[in-house]
Amino acid sequence: MAVSDPVADMLTKIRNAVSAGHEKVDIHPSKIKLEVVKIFKNEGYVKNFKKTTQDGKSVIRIFLKYDDGQKPIIHGIKKISSPGRRIYAGYRKMPRVFNGHGILIVSTSTGVITGKKATERKVGGELICSVW
């Protein structure tokens, strides 16, 4: 079955794997998904990730992160833009996630970056998702 929003599908797979307590999750690769996963890794929401080949198909394997009490680091993921309704924000009106305790992922003309970096670089763009 064709997926109309691959990034939303990836976020749903991560959300479901975290709620089920899985150690890792495999997703189909694309450039934007890889950039989003890199941001998750840099911000400390996932342990690690790697591109591998499984059954002749390329996949991104994401290793999920839990604290000492086996509670997930990712408490929630929300997709903001959708294929039918794109949401854009300038750097002056960049929303904050849980008063700065979460991150916002933005697709800008300089690449996929966090909302904080977009504000620092004074660039706006499409709001992809928020993570807390």
104: nearest Cα among 114, 113, 112, 94: 114
Q: Which helix (H) or strand (E) holds 34?
A: helix 31-42
71 within some domain: yes
* In-domain check, residue 1: no
- Residue 86 CB neighbour total at 10 angstroms: 11
pLDDT score at 100? 85
Each of the 132 residues of the chain gets a pLDDT tens digit; together they read 678 899 999 999 999 999 999 999 999 999 999 999 999 999 999 999 999 998 899 999 999 999 998 899 999 999 999 999 999 999 999 999 998 899 999 999 999 999 999 999 999 999 999 999
Q: Distance between terminal CA atoms of the chain?
A: 30
Query: Residue 62 belongs to a domain with what CATH number?
Result: 3.30.1370.30
Residue 89 lies in a domain: yes
Q: What was the pLDDT predicted at 54?
A: 86
- On whether residue 28 sits in a domain, the answer given is yes
Structural domain count of the chain: 1
Quick one: tokens of 32? 């934007």
Contact (CB, 8 A) for 124 and 118: yes
Is residue 49 in a domain? yes
Domain interval for residue 99? 6-131
Tell me what pLDDT residue 1 has.
Answer: 61
Residue 37 lies in a domain: yes
Residues facing residue 82 across a β-bridge: 85
- ∠ CA 64-132-36, nearest 5°, is 60
67 occurs within a structural domain: yes
Q: pTM here?
A: 0.91
